[in-house]
Structure 1
Amino acid sequence: MVLVTGGTGLVGSHLLLKLTTDNIPVRALYRSADKLSQVKKVFGYYSNEATSLFNKIEWIKGDILDIPFLENAMTSITHVYHCAAFISFDPSDFKKLERINREGTANIVNICIDAGVEKLCHVSTIGTIGRTLNGEAANEETEWTRQNANPYAITKHLAEMEVWRGAQENLNVVIVNPGVILGPGFWNSGSGSFFKTASKGYSYYPPGGSGFISVLDVVSIMITLMNSGIHSERYILVSENLTYKEILHKISLAMEKRPPTKALKFWQLNIGRIFDKLKTIFTSGTRTITKNTIYGLKHPSTFDNSKIKQVIQTNFEPIDKQVVFSSKLFIAEHS
């Protein structure tokens, strides 16, 4: 049986859809019952049998910080997909990020070893890939440093160190480092914010850019790696390197909105950072614009996907195709 952590997220829900479609026995962890409806909704995007597929999953409510719960959840498990993570770029969330992302991953690794799990796939981020100094595309060997890294990337790097520790203790592991994952259903977080922003028809776009990939490609590659003899490797998962202007242009056109034409200046971003900080003081919200955020926009990276292409003969889904598909669903849910 397969175990999936983070089953109610973008990657986790699409992974569960693929596993259940392929009739793979699967157990999934969840923390809040209200998020299960989100998984059913995602299933419905792709299948008329969404309910029957959803009912194939053995759902267990619990927390990856709860060791006795994890020990029970790992019973009879042969393969683990660790998709769970806490995402925040607010420095004030560092302790929570470190606890869930590093400590939670350490728990997963330790119990995988104790339970004799055959293989672990850990979902990380391109935030743990180093930056090049010469403008060349970064690859899996590019040295990462903590300097100017956001708190999420720092704690995901620490999580990777726990996975490599597991590898040294004879646990078969693979790590995937996806770029910005595009897919439908989670409009208020992650890449969903691009669709939400484009729908409002703003005139401005942020500087910089990143690597992008369809959620379907991420899931397909994860399963292929888990079913292979490959272990003790990490792979950048990026299909296209795009500027934020380019991705917002694509989404805006798919939504029949006017694309943004004006670049935000860095002085505007710095003013926005100050107001963003003041807003969190008075509203107890989460900061979205920090010094590290602006540094990343000022020093964008591109990413080399040649390593994964050498081991898996795959044709990445065109970003345009996923943009059109997700945009149609966004419009249908917000019209």
Structure 2
Amino acid sequence: MILVTGGTGLVGAHLLLRLAEGETPVRALYRNADTTRKTKHLFSHYGKQNLFEKIEWLEGDILETPSLELALAGVEKVYHCAASISFDPADEKLLRKVNIEGTANVVNCCLALGVRKLCHVSSVAALGDLKYNETVITEETEWNPEKFHADYAISKHGAETEVWRGWQEGLEVAIVNPGLIFGYGFWNQGSGEIFKAVHKGQYFYTKGTCGAVAVEDVVEIMIQLMESNISGERYTVVAENITYENIFNAIADGMHKKPPFIYATPFMTDMAYRLDWFFSKLLFRKRHFTKSMSKSAHKHQNFDNSKIREALNYNFRDIKSYLTKIGEKYRNNHQ
């Protein structure tokens, strides 16, 4: 038996789609029955509605140990995809509770109930900080607690600490650190909102660089790691280091839309996050653009994916053509 947490998110849903094609029974946690509809829609999009019925859905929460214990009964492998993603400073407590405490609960229950192996979905945000003489971020880059980190990054780093604790206590583990993940569906969250923005007519772009990857690559790598004898390792899962400008352009090509044409300077994004803070207080709404997002928009990050390529002899999808393809699918679904 396999258990997937976070099966109603982008990675978890695509993972379930892939796992349901196999012979091993699959179980998935959900907190709200309505959220499973997004996953069901994904299965329908690929014409695999029958596979959705193979999944055993259990109501539960990684913050509620009794429901986790029930979900883990008879389970041999766990894919831990559940996480809270936010760059709003107001969500600091939520991020720490879900990402750190929730992961600790998963690890503890795995140890207590004899689960053999755990695959944890982390983030490149949890990787280390470059020193003055370094230019490329790898799995060995050291985390510097004295440097500024967004609350999300801190929570994912803390979650990894819990996974390493489980490994030291005898649990087989594999950690993946994906960059910005793109994929079909889930347009109202995460990277899906970028497609919405481009479709509506995105005017601004920045020249910062990030690591990007297709969700299918993330899922395939997770499965291969879990089926291997690899344990006690983490891997940077990035197909390419790409500018935000090129991301917008590739998506716009697929949508037959005009690409963003106004360069948002650091001064402009600095003003934008301050104005967003003002209006969030005035209108009592959540933040849409924060200081950490402003910094990331201009930050140049260079991630090295050689470790995972060599470990699995893996070849990533070309991210630009992939973005164009997903952009075209979005356009066809929203005409």
Per the shorter chain, which TM-score range? over 0.9
Contact 2:210 2:241 (C-alpha < 8 Å) held by counterparts: yes
Give per-residue Cα distances to partners, 1:129-186, cap 9 Å, x unaligned.
1232346221001112242211111101000000000011011101000001110111
SS at 1:181's partner residue? strand
Amino acid of the structure 1 residue aligned with 2:114: G
Specify the alignment match of 1:93 in structure 2: 91
Query: Size of the alignment, in residue pairs?
Result: 333
CA distance in 1, matches of 2:205, 2:264: 6
Give per-residue Cα distances to partners, 1:201-226, cap 9 Å, x unaligned.
32310231200010000000000000
CA distance in 2, matches of 1:64, 1:305: 30
Q: 1:58 aligns with which of 48, 51, 56?
A: 56
Specify the alignment match of 1:272 in structure 2: 272
Runs of 5+ in structure 2 lacking a partner?
none
Give per-residue Cα distances to partners, 1:225-244, cap 9 Å, x unaligned.
00000000000000010000
Contact 1:131 1:301 (C-alpha < 8 Å) held by counterparts: no
Specify the alignment match of 1:75 in structure 2: 73
Q: 1:110 aligns with which of 105, 108, 111?
A: 108
Contact 1:10 1:215 (C-alpha < 8 Å) held by counterparts: yes
Deviates more, 1:73-82 or 1:310-319: 310-319
CA distance in 2, matches of 1:168, 1:330: 44
Amino acid of the structure 2 residue aligned with 1:285: R
Deviates more, 1:229-238 or 1:324-333: 324-333
Specify the alignment match of 1:281 in structure 2: 281
Amino acid of the structure 2 residue aligned with 1:328: E
SS at 1:323's partner residue? helix
CA distance in 2, matches of 1:35, 1:325: 26
CA distance in 2, matches of 1:273, 1:203: 17
CA distance in 2, matches of 1:286, 1:233: 37
The alpha-carbon distance between structure 1 residues 227 and 66, as it changes in their structure 2 partners (threshold 3 A), is same
Matches within 5 A, 1:1-335: 1-46=1-46, 48=47, 50-132=48-130, 133-134=132-133, 136-146=135-145, 147-335=147-335
Contact 2:103 2:162 (C-alpha < 8 Å) held by counterparts: yes
Amino acid of the structure 1 residue aligned with 2:285: G
CA distance in 1, matches of 2:255, 2:199: 7
Amino acid of the structure 2 residue aligned with 1:211: G
Amino acid of the structure 1 residue aligned with 2:148: N
Contact 1:140 1:236 (C-alpha < 8 Å) held by counterparts: yes
CA distance in 2, matches of 1:23, 1:332: 34
Quote how far apart the aligned CAs of 1:274 are: 1.4
CA-atom RMSD in angstroms: 1.3
Deviates more, 1:309-318 or 1:56-65: 309-318
The alpha-carbon distance between structure 1 residues 217 and 286, as it changes in their structure 2 partners (threshold 3 A), is same
CA distance in 1, matches of 2:148, 2:333: 38
SS at 2:20's partner residue? helix
Amino acid of the structure 2 residue aligned with 1:96: L
Contact 1:148 1:292 (C-alpha < 8 Å) held by counterparts: no
Quote how far apart the aligned CAs of 1:324 are: 3.0
Give per-residue Cα distances to partners, 1:9-40, cap 9 Å, x unaligned.
00000000000012331000011111111111
Runs of 5+ in structure 1 lacking a partner?
none
Q: State TM-score, norm by structure 2.
A: 0.96
Contact 1:201 1:252 (C-alpha < 8 Å) held by counterparts: no
Q: State TM-score, norm by structure 1.
A: 0.96
Amino acid of the structure 2 residue aligned with 1:210: C
Deviates more, 1:297-306 or 1:323-332: 323-332
Deviates more, 1:240-249 or 1:254-263: 254-263
CA distance in 2, matches of 1:274, 1:30: 36
Quote how far apart the aligned CAs of 1:187 are: 1.0
Contact 2:250 2:321 (C-alpha < 8 Å) held by counterparts: no
Contact 2:127 2:142 (C-alpha < 8 Å) held by counterparts: yes
Quote how far apart the aligned CAs of 1:280 are: 1.7
SS at 1:141's partner residue? coil
Amino acid of the structure 2 residue aligned with 1:9: G
